A and B are shown apart, each in its own frame.
Chain A
Amino acid sequence: MKERNKTSFINRSICIVLFLLVSQCDATLDPLDQSNGSFSVHGTVNMDNEIHFFRVNDLKATLQQETVPAIDARVTLENITTGNSVVLPDSMVDFDGVFTHNFFTEDIEYGNTYELTVERLSGRGTIKGRWTTPRRASMEIEGLPAERTGCNDPITMTYAPVSEISEIDLRIFRLGDPEIKSFRPPFVKHDTDESVTAVFTMYDISKAIYGVYTRDCRNFQAGGQLLFKLTHYGPDYFEDNITGGINDQIKVGLFGALYKEESIFLPFKD
């Protein structure tokens, strides 16, 4: 009987000690989501530039991480069209103890498909992003009206070659005016000859920029020149992560390729 009481006492003591040990344990908490995301890439390529930068951030390093200036990332750019692959160099910049990493290349061609790979040395947390640069295209305009006539005459604008999934952003301003109001002609894609066309009138441009009256259109026509600003986005271009899912890891940042063109036209035939 005495032995049983002793065993019971020992068991109870062990339970109490275990309870206290368990209860003293710190409740650990990792504030960083380690299971999603590893790098962000801000790497929009402007085909007109000579050097193309890819800003790579280690998402899991705090912004004040001064002790480790180097980034645990190997960045490879592969031209899928030609099969060439190159490891990009890092131009690390120190901004008051905060290091940024801009990997760069000079070798980007029109109309080619590239794949950017960012990986840790351990191989974990690799992200890849693939995009195609836009082809160089040219614009033709037909039907600019004669001076002081034809505010409602159709103007046809054709831009080619444009890939099926490329985006064209064309804005028309009046040269010399503040670039606040513009006219954006609606484009129609023609997959057969890889072109886009837009049909509009001088009245449409005048209405978008100045007002609804025809006399404004005529004054507008007489007053000066038109500025056409065109941006040709390559396929797979995106501007921010808002449109992408949280699990679509590369879509944190700006990514893709584009080029821009500007032309000046008289609002009437030469």
Chain B
Amino acid sequence: MFFIKKTSLCSALMLLLGVFLVVPAMGQSRSTLRVIVTDEAGDALTGANVLVYDDGYNDIEQFCVTNFDGFCQVIIREQDWYRLKVSFIGFQNFEERIFLEEGDVVVKRIELIEQVGELGEVLVEEERGYTTGSLGITRVEAEDLSRVPSLSLDGDLMAYIKTVPGVISLGDQGGDLYIRGGSPIQNLVLVDNIPIIKPFHISNLFSAFPEQVVSNIDILAGGFDASYMSSTSAVIDVNLKTGDLVNHKASGSFSPYISSLFYEGPIQEKKSSMLVSGRVSTIKTFSGHLSPEKKDVEFYDVLARYSLHRDGFICNFTAILTDDRGKISDLRDSYLGWSNASFGGRCFGFDEYYARPFEISIGTTSFQNSERSTDGSTNNKSEVKQAFMRLDFEDYWFNQKFDYGINILAHTYRARVDSRFTFVDEARTDRFPMFQIYLRTTFDPTSNIRITPSLGTQSTIHFGPTLEPRLRVVTKPFGNNRSELSLAVGKYHQALDGFSDQRDAGTTFTIYRPNAAFAPLFSSIHRIVGLKNKIGSRIKTNVEAYYMTHNNVPVAKWTNIAQTFVLPAQANSRSYGVNTRVEYETRSLYLYLGYSWSKVRYKAATDDLGAWLDTPIFEYSPPHDQRHQLSTIASVDIGEFTVNITWELGSGRPFTKVFGFDFAIDVINTDPIEEPGVARTLFSEPYGSRLPYYHRLDASIERGFRISNDFSLEAQIGCLNVYDRNNVFYLDLNVLERVDQSPILPYAAIKISKL
């Protein structure tokens, strides 16, 4: 029945697509210029400036900035000759004289040529500004990933993201991220619109996204527009690179902690390509030899991407497999595991025969996580499967650009749990279809203000349509492009619910489930204001202040007595803080300083949380409430060598102390001489104390060698936790012992590449 419904929905969506592709836009008496910008290898260039001047180069008639497909389009109202200019940092400018006829749709595919020299794009921005609208968004390029030492020659998203102000991880194990107060379940990771749950590896140093497969990554730490639904906290939107459409390239790297193979190359030159990356951990084998501590973790990831480029469309088909297993604490007989199998395709159509550009995405994901003990007493497993089909359009109504789309999702949840999670009905399989629709527009009331309102709604059989208005405003307070003052507000809802025992940092096992019927949804309101500055050509600063409220966040009921079972409760939370970052960059030196001050508070009725307190309302700081966070990155080229250094400092996170131990006995009904009573561990005020400060220095030095015209070799030596600081991971309340993060981890890595 469910399958039939899904098929019908997909058919309806395809019909909708057909209608939209042939029905012309309203008032089609103008010229449309569609531009695709790529590099010489065919990889899309995101963020390239496309400017259309009058024929005398006096005024800019229209401009746009390319999206992650390298695409943008402009509407020209008068038939005439124009000058098209395309620029992108590090590439030669492209210029062409074009004639646009009324009613024409012209598609230009532009291949920019790499340039070694001055950064031309900066000048273009000076000529006519555009606002990046990047409030709350950290765009991470592949090169950024390489600047953070990560036990490997390939940089990785996971190693980098922890240096972003406002992103907290509870330690160097577990693969969970907390962004601006939101919990891991509130984050959404997208790859080609495929929602992937927890693509982060157990070691907290690696993700499924190494540097060599990434084009760029947008970390949207709140305030994002309605084209992103399904998340109440943050979105990590990963744009994978297109496999090289011209040259065959391959590489293999080895370090004592991870080994990888990579290939990219054309199947049909400049028409289609393949990219394959595979990595497998070797930590379990080598960790005991190079560092004082043996790590019982292992993982792998495989990513494959087929890209098809035709004159009127670009399609990418992606497959991602990840698998993680291991212990995050040697004190516990608890093996954690999670795995992902995700497949999807995304096609972007921009041909002149289409009435409007469109994008269609379709995919399926399967995620499962587990927790088991060697003696079999614990054997928990929870899985969630997702399938989706999404349509996105770009259109002009009443001379105003609109983006809109519809997304149909189907979720299936299943869990098999032991008596610890008594509230879960494991015999039940939940099927959960969902619709999401959004509409977004952008307008510039003056040359210094850009306003982007958007509206989204989602509904399922369990809850009615939500209303999620969002607004982003960007201004240029000084009338130039060197400063941007922005604000973003919005309402967010989320149906995917996940529950883990936050009282116990020794496990990350999460039970995924749909929002209960008629129960209040996860929801949040984001408010962000930010100021971005460029000082000279080398310094960039960014300051953002945020205030976010989250409602109906699932938390574990807290009892004063340690107990094996866990019960869910709901809390409301608020988080606020200031994130700042300063970057200095020259050709051979990159310096970065990020600082975050934040506060996260959860609040619920004491009865709901079961806490041992006198007050009717209980308010507390959850374990991810890190008040201060400082990150520094230094990357410098010295001759043939590149030195990368990061230093992180974090204030202590909250934890719960033990109030005491006793043997409880009912001395009336039980003889205390004959019976010891029930052994109890009593907890103190939940999260009433703080762990010590955390700090860690990581460093690496690398050098490349040219072996021949076709092959190169890179070698790197490095060390994580250089001064072997005993940073506390968490306090294990079961055995009352502290669990430390990784000790000093020296490594050497080598990589051979076929150019």
Measuring CB to CB, which residues of chain A are less than 8 angstroms from any residue of chain B?
Answer: 20, 23-24, 26-33, 36-37, 40, 42-46, 49, 52-55, 57-63, 91, 93, 95, 98, 100, 102, 241-242, 245-247, 252-254, 258
Residues of A with C-beta under 8 A to B658: 31-33
Q: How far is the CA of A31 from the CA of B673 in the complex (A)?
A: 31
A24-B725, A31-B731, A246-B613 are contacts. A36–B684 as well, Cβ < 8 Å? yes
> Is the CB–CB distance between A100 and B677 below 8 Å?
yes
A29-B691, A42-B667, A252-B682 are contacts. A59–B726 as well, Cβ < 8 Å? no
Residues of B with C-beta under 8 A to A253: 662, 664
With A31-B738, A53-B667, A93-B672 known, 8 other A-B pairs at CB within 8 A are: A24-B724, A27-B692, A27-B728, A33-B684, A44-B666, A61-B661, A241-B612, A252-B682
Residues of A with C-beta under 8 A to B672: 53, 55, 93, 100, 102
Contact of B667 among A23, A55, A242 (CB under 8 A): A55
Q: Does B477 contact A (CB under 8 A)?
A: no
Chain A proximity of B521: nearest CB distance (Å): 31
* Sample of 26 A–B contacts (CB below 8 Å): A23-B725, A24-B725, A26-B726, A27-B691, A27-B693, A27-B727, A27-B728, A29-B691, A31-B738, A32-B660, A33-B688, A36-B659, A36-B685, A37-B684, A42-B666, A55-B665, A59-B659, A98-B663, A102-B672, A102-B673, A241-B560, A241-B682, A246-B659, A252-B660, A252-B682, A254-B667
Q: How far is the CA of A58 from the CA of B676 in the complex (A)?
A: 14
Residues of A with C-beta under 8 A to B659: 33, 36-37, 59, 246, 252
Q: Does B695 contact A (CB under 8 A)?
A: yes
> Is the CB–CB distance between B661 and A59 below 8 Å?
yes
A48 to B, closest residue via Cβ: B668
Q: How far is the CA of A224 from the CA of B688 in the complex (A)?
A: 58
A29-B731, A32-B658 are contacts. A246–B677 as well, Cβ < 8 Å? no
Q: Does B723 contact A (CB under 8 A)?
A: yes
Q: How far is the CA of A60 from the CA of B603 in the complex (A)?
A: 30
> Is the CB–CB distance between A20 and B723 below 8 Å?
yes
Residues of A with C-beta under 8 A to B728: 27, 29
Residues of A with C-beta under 8 A to B710: none
> Is the CB–CB distance between A44 and B668 below 8 Å?
yes
A24-B725, A27-B693, A102-B672 are contacts. A245–B665 as well, Cβ < 8 Å? no
Contact of B692 among A29, A33, A40, A42 (CB under 8 A): A29
Q: How far is the CA of A32 from the CA of B660 in the complex (A)?
A: 7
> Is the CB–CB distance between A23 and B676 below 8 Å?
no
Interface centre among B657, B659, B724 (most CB of A within 10 A): B659
> Is the CB–CB distance between B661 and A28 below 8 Å?
no
Residues of A with C-beta under 8 A to B738: 29, 31
Per-residue contact bits, chain B 343-376, to A (CB 8 Å; 1 contact, 0 not) = 0000000000000000000000000000000000
> Is the CB–CB distance between B679 and A63 below 8 Å?
yes
Residues of A with C-beta under 8 A to B664: 40, 42, 253-254
Residues of B with C-beta under 8 A to A45: 668
Taking CB atoms and an 8 Å cut-off, the chain B residues in 645-698 that contact chain A are: 657-668, 672-673, 676-677, 679, 681-682, 684-685, 688-689, 691-695, 697
Residues of A with C-beta under 8 A to B731: 29, 31
> Is the CB–CB distance between B662 and A40 below 8 Å?
yes
Contact of A100 among B663, B666, B685 (CB under 8 A): B663
Residues of B with C-beta under 8 A to A241: 560, 612, 682
Q: How far is the CA of A30 from the CA of B724 in the complex (A)?
A: 21
Residues of A with C-beta under 8 A to B667: 42-44, 52-55, 102, 254
Q: How far is the CA of A63 from the CA of B562 in the complex (A)?
A: 14
Q: How far is the CA of A24 from the CA of B629 in the complex (A)?
A: 20
Q: Does B736 contact A (CB under 8 A)?
A: yes
Residues of A with C-beta under 8 A to B733: 31
Chain A proximity of B402: nearest CB distance (Å): 54
> Is the CB–CB distance between B660 and A31 below 8 Å?
no
Residues of A with C-beta under 8 A to B688: 33
Chain B proximity of A172: nearest CB distance (Å): 21
Residues of A with C-beta under 8 A to B657: 30-33
> Is the CB–CB distance between A46 and B668 below 8 Å?
yes
Q: How far is the CA of A62 from the CA of B673 in the complex (A)?
A: 20
A20 to B, closest residue via Cβ: B723
Per-residue contact bits, chain B 572-615, to A (CB 8 Å; 1 contact, 0 not) = 00000000000000000000000000000000000000001110
